[in-house]
Amino acid sequence: MGANMAESSKPPAEGDRAIWPPVDPVSVGLGGRCPRCGEGRLFSGFLSIGKGCRNCGLDYGFADAGDGPAVFVILIIGFLVVGLALWMEVSMGPPLWVHFLLWIPLTLILSLTALRLIKGLLIALQYRNKAEEGKLDRS
């Protein structure tokens, strides 16, 4: 009982002090929703992050996914498309124009779709885990 009392008397953590029920970062991120309330829109365009949530007022100034989404897209979609292209070449041996006709549009469609999904997911996880830019302590 004493441990619970000590935990409840601690001041709230710095940063976001709003009281919102926890949301699942995976479903919120993949849905492009606000990482705090799960209702507002995260994106103002296809890949551009909005200024803030219109539902709960969360400022999206913290949101910086960096190059992470692009790296994941390159690795995942590249693995799938190259694997399928190699399998098709070995098993069927189609002419080169067939490869171009199939794999270039598939790569573009999958990459753009995955880029938005992964960017939303990484921003939701960034909010959930309170990830910040690394800083050096120069005391």
Sole residue written with tokens 């969360």 = 58
Tell me the per-residue pLDDT of 34-59, one tens digit each, with 9 for 90 and over: 998 888 899 999 889 999 999 888 88
**Start-to-end CA span in the chain (Å):** 38
The whole-model pTM stands at: 0.76
Contacts 24+ apart (CB under 8 A), 105-111: 106/81, 107/77, 107/81, 110/77, 110/80, 110/81, 111/73, 111/77
**Sign of the CA dihedral 39, 40, 45, 51?**
negative
Sole residue written with tokens 């399928």 = 84
Tell me the per-residue pLDDT of 76-116, one tens digit each, with 9 for 90 and over: 999 999 999 999 999 999 999 999 999 999 999 999 999 99
